[in-house]
Amino acid sequence: MKKRSLTACLSAAALAAFALALISPGGTAPAAAQTKDQRTIVIDPGHGGLDVGAKGKFGALEKSITLAISFKLKALIEQNLACRVVLTRDKDIDVSLESRAALANNNDAALFISIHTNGSFRKKAQGSETFFMSLNASDEETRKLAYMENSSAALEQRIAEEDKDVVKMILWDMAQAAYIKQSSRLAELIQQELSSDPLLKTENRGIKQAPFKVLTGVACPAVLVEAAFISNPEEEQRLIKDEFQTNVALAIYNGLAKFVKLTGQK
């Protein structure tokens, strides 16, 4: 009997992890301890340290708001789900996009949620939207947003074109195929909660796809949430309020909880 091929022997998840190991940059974060059979959810507070993210007219900083929302989301998950929660940062420090993905993989994350606030040159832009990974952006505005999020204090230039060679494209497809449908479903459920919450009253900008670098290297279903527009003075004033941050965290949690129930994850 002929030996089975390597691809046939590997599960989808194992194949994805193998592919990601080949395309991920060097440097990994240490894995934290966890109990047997306990699922890990990684929450990624966007930006931090010198990378302040988007800025509001009245001085609000994206990095501070995302960390506050992430702490609230972490507490909700730990109180209500039998899951271990890991933050990519728990203080105002610089963390590279590569390190955020590496931390998720080293902790064998079941889900990855990156929290952000939106920015636009259009002061009237408003609402929430949720993204999942794609090499192609849904539209031009989304492409620009992904470019800004992919930039940091240490990285101001566009991702090198040589990073999009044929081999890496193939490996990326292998890695993401196991998770893309789940990421899309997770994004849909979270966005439904954000847009239907009567306490948030945010415009529904829908779910979109974009080449966010922080999502590319994560070996699990992964989404990026843009809670509201910090560049819109009215939404900026809401984003800095504890009540609004709590409601954003609750909406994300409710979408996450529905996903966990639907997919049978514990």
Q: What is the pLDDT of residues 226-260, one digit of tens each?
A: 999 999 999 999 999 999 999 999 999 999 999 99
| 102 band by pLDDT with thresholds 50, 70 and 90 | very high
Q: How far is CA 216 from CA 174, 222, 246, in A?
A: 12, 9, 28
The single-letter code of the amino acid at 158 is R
Asked whether residue 52 is assigned to any structural domain, the reply reads yes
The model's pTM is 0.78
Q: Calculate ∠ Cα 135-61-111, nearest 5°.
A: 45
21 in a structural domain: no
Q: Is residue 6 part of a domain?
A: no
CB atoms within 10 A of CB 165: 9
pLDDT, averaged across the chain: 80
Kindly indicate the confidence band of residue 35, based on its pLDDT and cuts at 50, 70 and 90: low
CATH code of 168's domain: 3.40.630.40
pLDDT, residue 161, reads: 47
Please check whether residue 20 lies inside any domain of the structure. Answer: no
More confident site: 89 or 29: 89
The most confident of 64-68, 134-138, 152-156, by mean pLDDT: 64-68
Query: Can you name the residues that pair with 209 across neighbouring β-strands?
Result: 132
pLDDT at 38: 81
Question: In this structure, is residue 26 part of a structural domain?
Answer: no
Determine whether 256 is exposed, middle or buried from the number of CB atoms within 10 Å of its CB (0-12, 13-18, 19+).
buried
Domain count within the chain: 1
When pLDDT is averaged across residues 181-196 and rounded to a whole number, the result is 96
pLDDT in tens, 190-200: 999 999 999 99
Residue 8 lies in a domain: no
In a domain, 189, yes or no: yes
Residue 235's domain comprises: 36-263
Query: Distance between CA atoms of 32 and 108, rounded to whole angstroms?
Result: 10
Using 50, 70 and 90 to split pLDDT, how confident is the model at 29?
very low
Structure-model confidence comparison of residues 143 and 99, the more confident one: 99
Tell me if 253 is assigned to some domain. yes
